[in-house]
Amino acid sequence: MTIKPAHRRIATITVGVVVLLAFVIAGMTLRVPYVALGPGPTVNTLGDVDGKPVVEVSNAVDPNPKGNLNLTTVSLRDGMTLFQAPGDRTRWLRVTEGPPRR
């Protein structure tokens, strides 16, 4: 018994679509055990936020300093799916035991 070329072609396309659909669903739902570190916002600690100074020093040599003293931060991203992970061009850290995440 031989399979007609048209039936073989339909079977091949069907299997390919099912496998592709399985990969898409897996990529959208499975989470990777890594976190991505990236640059965070900076804050001028010599400036004001909502009319209040960010840092207040009593008995300072210069009570009205000029310039910037930037506080740099790091952003942390976790809970990414397989599709989100490769697109994030930051450094990766493996999730290990540590303090609980909030």
E strand or H helix at 44, and its extent? strand 34-44
pLDDT in tens, 65-100: 788 888 888 888 888 888 777 765 555 555 555 555
Residue 75, Cβ neighbours under 10 Å: how many? 11
Q: How far apart are the first and last CA of the chain?
A: 63
* pTM assigned to the model: 0.51
CA dihedral 14, 19, 21, 26 (to 10 degrees): 170
Collapse the DSSP code of 27 into the 3-class scheme (helix H, G, I; strand E, B; otherwise coil) and give the result: helix
Closest by CA to 85, choosing from 34, 25, 24, is 34
Q: Provide φ and ψ at 81, rounded to 5°.
A: -85, 175
Instruction: Give residue limits of the domains in the chain.
Output: 1-30, 32-60+69-95
pLDDT in tens, 18-68: 999 999 999 889 888 888 777 888 888 888 878 888 787 788 788 777 888
Q: Which two tokens stand for residue 21?
A: 């659909």
Question: Distance between CA atoms of 93 and 37, rounded to whole angstroms?
Answer: 8
